[in-house]
Amino acid sequence: MARRAALLQALPSPAAESDGGQDRLRAVRRGAVPFGYLSPTVVLLMILMVIPIVMVIGYSLMDNVIMKKNPQLVGFKHYIDILTSDTFWSAASNTAFFTVVSVVAHLVIGLLFALMLNSPLLGGRTKAVFRTIYVLPWLFTVAIIAVLWRLLLDPNGVVNYLLTTTGLTGTQIEWLSSPETALFAVTFINIWSGYPFYMTSLLAGLQGIPGDYYEAAEVDGANAWQQFARITVPQLKPIIISMALLDFIWTTQQFALIWMTTGGGPLGTTEMLSTFTYKLAFTKYQFGTASAAAVIVLTISMVLAFFYVRAQRARD
């Protein structure tokens, strides 16, 4: 508010001298300006996102939606069903593991690669070559990533071949089919396919840190680690927060990758909220319950979004 007032003062507006009524009109019109800019977004999101979401919320309170012509209102029954189901909680804990490990690993690998690619020790052409190679996992549709990794991680696949012929393991490992390794395997695949998003963004961020910050730190006798911790990380923090939020939301929804590699098995060890919801909707045809699961995920994300917005304001 204060900023806008300042802005108004700065403008050599002839209206300032005229009578108060017209002045107020102008202020109103000016207040409408941001909404003008926002109108396409608001209209699009309202119609195409908010309406379906409201319908999903409606479904979550009803029984037999979609499958029957006359669904009945059942209140919060579906929410109670879900929150008291063991499968939901194990799916939630798998999702939490999958998401947190993925996001952290994306960040670490993305940052590591970005730092390596940003090193002054390398020539521009070398960097360009490696940059292109490193961005490769980003270019494929999820279905093909799933199929490719199923091939690679097959008991008779390439990974086991390499491990057994080099003597690292004695027997073939059932990466995706053993309850002990499956969750790690799908998380690994997701890490592989997602780090370039961070890498490119952080690389961009690194270009933006003024060189004199580092020179000043060097003068103060800061070593490489201290420079990293005191300059690089704080400077990159705003990007990291935005990306981590987006990635968090996207990863909790990762469906196709899980579905096409393990289908939530073996023994439910890779069951995620997304696969759990899918099964409710399209094999049990309980769209009401599935919608309730979706609303729960939405609520959690809204809490996250709230903190994100607060963090952003603090930054401003």
**Of 82-121, which residues contact other proteins (CB under 8 A)?**
112-113, 116-117, 119, 121
Question: How near is the Cβ of 254 to other proteins at its closest, in Å?
Answer: 10
Q: Which is nearer to other proteins, 107 or 117 (CB)?
A: 117
239 binds other proteins (CB under 8 A): yes
Looking at 28, 35, 211, 225, which residue binds other proteins (CB under 8 A)? 35
Question: How near is the Cβ of 224 to other proteins at its closest, in Å?
Answer: 11
66 binds other proteins (CB under 8 A): yes
Hey, which residues between 139 and 198 contact other proteins (CB under 8 A)?
139-144, 147-152, 154-158, 161, 165, 172, 174, 176-179, 182, 192, 196-197
Q: Which stretch binds other proteins (CB under 8 A): 20-28, 42-50, 75-83, 100-108?
A: 42-50
222 binds other proteins (CB under 8 A): no
Question: How near is the Cβ of 288 to other proteins at its closest, in Å?
Answer: 11
Cα separation, 132 vs 139, whole angstroms? 11
224 binds other proteins (CB under 8 A): no
Whether residue 256 contacts residue 142, with contact meaning beta carbons closer than 8 Å, is answered with: yes
125 binds other proteins (CB under 8 A): no
Q: Which is nearer to other proteins, 98 or 197 (CB)?
A: 197
List, in sequence order, every residue forming a beta bridge with 72; answer none if it has no partner: 63
Contacts of residue 34, Cβ cutoff 8 Å, sequence gap at least 6:
none
Looking at 17, 132, 166, 170, which residue binds other proteins (CB under 8 A)? 132
Question: How near is the Cβ of 166 to other proteins at its closest, in Å?
Answer: 13
Hey, which residues between 261 and 280 contact other proteins (CB under 8 A)?
261-268, 273-274, 277-279
Q: Which stretch binds other proteins (CB under 8 A): 75-83, 100-108, 214-222, 230-238?
A: 230-238
Cα separation, 46 vs 109, whole angstroms? 37
Cα separation, 250 vs 94, whole angstroms? 15
Question: How near is the Cβ of 91 to other proteins at its closest, in Å?
Answer: 12
